[in-house]
Structure 1
Amino acid sequence: MRAHPGDWLIIERGDVDHHARRGRIEEVRTSDGSPPYLVRWTDTDRTVLVFPGPDAYVLTPAELEAADVAAANRFSAVQREISHRGAR
């Protein structure tokens, strides 16, 4: 895993008790971009030092924006389908 300040750390949780998290990488403490990272979490606005586990990955700001647009498009398509089926 390699990152730069400004990239996003995404942690996907595979269990019901935890939700996915995303945080902006504020600082990379190594010259090669490997962990640990100083991350500001969007859900708490807290900054913490993170050693990411196997359920984490890094996205550039452009990659995160593209993923968010794709998710919004999928959501809209599902909503249209629900509305269409409900009108029958």
Structure 2
Amino acid sequence: MRAQTGDWLVIKGPVVGKPDQRGLIIEVRDPDGAPPYVVRWPQDDHVSTVFPGPDAVIVTEAEQSAAEEAERARLEAVQEAIFTRHWS
């Protein structure tokens, strides 16, 4: 696993229905990008040093932005479908 500052650490939900945890990597101590990483967790602004396990992946800023945009588009589509069905 290799990362750089600005990447996102994504820890997959442990069971179906549990959301993934996403944290912004704010410091990579190893010049090769190996763990541990200093991560800021946006849900509570907590900062911690993390040695990621096998349930974690590194996502680039571009990949994270694309995922957030896809999530927004899905939400808008659902809201539009609900609105259209309700008011039709």
Normalising by structure 1, we get a TM-score of 0.84
Query: What secondary structure is seen at the aligned counterpart in 2 of 1:48?
Result: strand
Per-residue deviation at 1:53?
1.8
Q: Which residue of 1 aligns with 2:55?
A: 55
RMSD: 1.9
Superposed counterparts of 1:49-88, under 5 Å: 49-88=49-88
Q: Which residue of 2 aligns with 1:42?
A: 42
After superposition, give the CA deviation of every residue in 1:48-70 in whole Å (9 maximum; x if it has no partner).
11011222211111111111011
The sequence identity of aligned pairs, in percent, is: 49
CA distance in 1 between partners of 2:78 and 2:45 (Å): 31
CA distance in 1 between partners of 2:47 and 2:18 (Å): 19
* Uncovered stretches (5+) of structure 1, i.e. residues with no partner: none
Per-residue deviation at 1:87?
2.2
Per-residue deviation at 1:31?
2.3
Runs of 4+ in 1 over 2 A off after TM superposition: 14-20
Q: Name whichever of 15-24 and 27-36 sits farther off.
A: 15-24
CA distance in 2 between partners of 1:13 and 1:26 (Å): 22
* Uncovered stretches (5+) of structure 2, i.e. residues with no partner: none
